[in-house]
Structure formats: C-alpha cells, structure tokens
Amino acid sequence: MKDQHESNSTPLSRRRVLKAGAVTSGALLIGGTGVAAAYDFPSTNEDNKENGWPYVKPVDDDNCEVTLEFINDTNALAYFEYRIDGEEPDETYGDHPVVDDDVIYPGVTVDGRGESDPVVETRTFNATSMVEIRLALGGERDWDFDWTPFSVPSCDPETKSDCRDGGWDDYGFRNQGQCIRYVNTGKDSR
C-alpha cells in the first residue's frame, strides 16, 4: 500500500524500525500554555504532509496489522500518540497538557533536532479494525492534528494452527471447527 505520490528518498541510515510494543521516550517540547476547554486541532495529517510538518504515512497492511511511517522533517521533536481499535490505553502517561479531559497515550517520538534529512520511524501495529494516530505533543501547536484512522485488513486465520488453543475465538468464530472450515474452504460462518 505505497503512496504513489511519495518518493522514498529518505536514506536508509535515517530509517529506524521499531518493534510493536516498544515504548519510545524522549523529552518533549510543549508549545503554548494552558489547556483549551475544547481543543480545536489546527491541522490535519494531510495538511502536515503538504506543509513539511510531522506526519504519518501508511506503508503496508496485512492480516490484522498495519505498518506506518512517522516522518519528521523539522528541527524539533514530535510525539505521535496511537490508539488501537479505539480503546483507552491500559497504561497512560498522565493528564494531557494540550487536550482537555484526556490522557497522554503511548506513542512514537521522532526527534528531528540537528538532522538535515527527514527522520523516519517505522512501526507495525496489530489490531482488529484500525489504528488511530494524533499529534498533540511536539515543537509547535500549529502541527497538532486529531485522531487519524488507518484501517487494518480483516483478521482471518491463515492456517489450522491459527485456530488452535483458543485462537478461533480471537477471529470471532463460535468454535474451533468453524475456524478450521474457514481455513480449508473459505466459507465464513461467523
């Protein structure tokens, strides 16, 4: 799922692949003061891409997962929060300093300080329907964008072993036999 309008000119030496579940950290610069009662996000992911500000680009999707590139071509930090399948995180990093009545979600820090080339962090997420990304922590408030969804292809078992040991339940089948029948025939009885 490559963006046809996007050239892949970022040097490989600047690319970093992060394992799903790895926690990234770094000092964050929080621009502005105070918390807006109902925060009006000034940008979108697409606007950020067009303006050369930090943005997210889907690069691949597969059964139950999506791979995203987090791109920062600025001389600042950007912290992209992520939300999987619309759920609240099990662990939060405190109250959100920008978005009122919300928490800081887990995320990906992309540090562009002192870099002449864009910094690209790549992360693969496992989900059943979508991964959402927002940018509300970083060098400039003008960059902030609200939750942007990235669809995940349906989760379907690919082998009989995917159906064993309770795996059938993860795919939404009523029992192991239905799951194995789906693998063998493609007939979906969920």
Which ranges of the chain does DSSP label H, i.e. alpha helix?
45-51, 167-170, 176-185
Kindly list the distances between the CA atom of residue 146 and the CA atoms of 34, 92, 119, 180, in Å, as whole numbers in the listed order.
Answer: 18, 18, 22, 40
SS3 92: coil
Q: What is the pLDDT of residue 58?
A: 97
Kindly list the distances between the CA atom of residue 45 and the CA atoms of 2, 57, 75, 148, 151, in Å, as whole numbers in the listed order.
Answer: 17, 9, 18, 7, 15
Radius of gyration of the chain, Cα coordinates, nearest whole angstrom: 19
Q: What is the pLDDT of residue 171?
A: 83
Q: What is the pLDDT of residue 141?
A: 95
Domain ranges for the chain, please list them: 12-151, 156-190
The sign of the dihedral angle between the CA atoms of 152, 158, 162, 167 is positive
Q: What is the pLDDT of residue 90?
A: 81
pTM over the 0.85 mark: no
The single-letter DSSP state of residue 89 is P
CA–CA gap between residue 143 and residue 55 (Å, rounded)? 9
Residue type, 152: V
**CATH code assigned to 12-151:** 2.20.130
Per-residue pLDDT of the chain (190 residues; tens, 9 = 90+): 433 333 333 333 333 333 344 333 333 333 333 333 468 999 999 999 999 999 999 999 888 889 999 999 999 999 999 999 999 888 778 999 999 999 999 999 999 999 999 999 999 999 888 999 999 999 999 999 999 999 988 778 889 999 999 888 888 889 999 999 999 998 988 8
Place of tokens 């799922």: 1
Helix (H) or strand (E) holding 22: none
Query: Considering only CA atoms, which of 73, 71, 40, 42 is closest in space to residue 144?
Result: 42
